[in-house]
Amino acid sequence: MPDLTAVRAALRDLRIEVPSWAYGNSGTRFKVFTQPGVPRSAYEKIDDAAQVHAFTGAAPSVAVHIPWDRVDDYADLAAHARAAGVAIGTVNSNTFQDPDYMLGSVCHPDGRVRDKAVAHLLECVDIMDATGSADLKLWFADGTNYPGQDDLAARQDRLAESLARVYARLGAGQRLLLEYKLFEPSFYATDVPDWGTALGHCMALGPQAAVVVDTGHHAPGTNIEFIVAVLLRAGRLGGFDFNSRFYADDDLMAGAADPFQLFRILHEVVRAGALGPAAGVAFMLDQCHNIEPKIPAQIRSVLNVQEAAAKALLVDAPALRTAQQNQDVLGAHAVLMDAYNTDVRPLLAGLREEMGLDPDPVAAYHRSGYQDKIIAERIGGTPAGWGS
Ligand code: LRH
Ligand code: MN
């Protein structure tokens, strides 16, 4: 049985970064259903994100997305975040909404469009300097819809050249995180479709480049924990965009659609000793709450990741290794399932009480009256969204 003191210490250290865009209105191409009390600015998004940290004690940073979170003074935004008890985390670029990027951004055939895209990415590094953020996360919608539309290899050359220009701008301690996605909005070839392509570009760039695994970005049936094990072994797992899905990039709450998969992924992270902050793996949520109240959904998502991590920390590693060495197929599987089938909610509730938090963060949030306060206060202005 793992040492519970060590398990509790690891859970105390677990940090989950929340996405600013989860608090704004979001939807699908069919409809964006708006909700009352939605933030109207990056400042209000941070206020809402700070609620998640206040009730969970495990979400001390907020990822921002540019230009959705564009402000006049990023140092002031960072100061506002600190005053709210959180920090500005990963800076996400956006080269998927400007009209010039219809046929791509950093992979576009026209060098002027690539220059425009690279200029935006360099602006994001300037913003990191102002907010004190370490990570620049790059996801590119770039791709094609029809065979022959463009030269697949030439697009890789353009991508490599563009990434190198951004990589050269990074300061010490800053990282470029490259996120892959199989498809959407491109439906024939995406220029960074999978972990292999992303890893290849990161290896070519240098040690400050690593891969982000968004759990919604794979073909159905993909063994994501295998990819995680390989990236950890290569020392190039930069982080996760956690969410869950039944079909495509559904961006549902992490662990909601497939809690067993989230456990298997975190088992590989724990096995590699990479759960702690020192390991440099960023645990981020990337979700959209199209029909459910956003702040409680974020709190629930943080709890889901905590629960999966707690189960992974309870895997009896020596027993597992012994069973694996003894080629005891069922025995080894049983060790993992024992941990997965452990109800870790009492352990986490106890830990929250030790941290001076309510054992039931979702209920505590509802009792706080914050939701009613923002619905009453946030009248007028332009509710935040994906701005497309
Ligand atoms: C792309 C993605 C990416 C973000 C966006 C909000 O699907 O996962 O991480 O930029 O969602
Ligand atoms: Mn993502």
Residue-wise pLDDT tens digits, 109-142: 999 999 999 999 999 999 999 999 999 999 999 9
Q: Take atom 3 of ligand 1 and give the residue whose Cα is closest.
A: 139
For residue 286, report the distance from its CA to the centre of ligand 2, in Å: 5
Segments of the chain scoring below 70 in pLDDT: 388
By the 10 Å C-beta count (0-12 exposed, 13-18 middle, 19+ buried), 285 is classed as buried
Please give the pLDDT value at position 1. 79
Q: Is 373 left (phi over 0), alpha (psi -120 to 50) or beta?
A: alpha
For residue 217, report the distance from its CA to the centre of ligand 2, in Å: 8
Q: Is the CB of 139 under 6 A from ligand 1?
A: yes
- State the closest ligand 1 atom to the C-alpha of 216, by its place in the atom list counted from 1: 8
Q: Is the CB of 181 under 6 A from ligand 1?
A: yes
pTM of full prediction above 0.85: yes
Q: Is the CB of 142 under 6 A from ligand 1?
A: no
Do 141 and 186 meet the contact criterion of CB atoms below 8 Å apart? yes
Distance CA 333, CA 54 (A): 37
Please give the pLDDT value at position 164. 98
Beta bridge partner(s), residue 80: none
Q: Is the CB of 286 under 6 A from ligand 1?
A: yes
Q: Take atom 4 of ligand 1 and give the residue whose Cα is closest.
A: 139
For residue 139, report the distance from its CA to the centre of ligand 1, in Å: 6
For residue 241, report the distance from its CA to the centre of ligand 2, in Å: 5
Q: Is 18 left (phi over 0), alpha (psi -120 to 50) or beta?
A: beta
Where are the alpha helices (H) located in 20-95, listed in sequence order?
42-56, 74-83
Q: Take atom 9 of ligand 1 and give the residue whose Cα is closest.
A: 139
Q: Take atom 6 of ligand 1 and give the residue whose Cα is closest.
A: 286
Q: Is the CB of 215 under 6 A from ligand 1?
A: no
- State the closest ligand 1 atom to the C-alpha of 92, by its place in the atom list counted from 1: 10
Q: Which of 154, 147, 139, 66 is nearest to 108 (CA)?
A: 154
Q: Is the CB of 249 under 6 A from ligand 1?
A: yes
Task: Tell how strand 18-19 and strand 61-65 pair up.
Answer: parallel
For residue 328, report the distance from its CA to the centre of ligand 2, in Å: 38
Please give the pLDDT value at position 388. 55
- Convert the pLDDT of each residue in 8-46 to its tens digit: 999 999 999 999 999 999 999 999 999 999 999 999 999
**Angle of helix 259-271 versus helix 329-340 axis, rounded to 10:** 110
- State the closest ligand 1 atom to the C-alpha of 184, by its place in the atom list counted from 1: 7
For residue 138, report the distance from its CA to the centre of ligand 1, in Å: 9
For residue 243, report the distance from its CA to the centre of ligand 2, in Å: 8
Q: Which of 221, 141, 154, 149 is nearest to 180 (CA)?
A: 141
Percent of the chain with pLDDT over 90: 99
Average pLDDT, the chain: 98
Do 264 and 301 meet the contact criterion of CB atoms below 8 Å apart? no
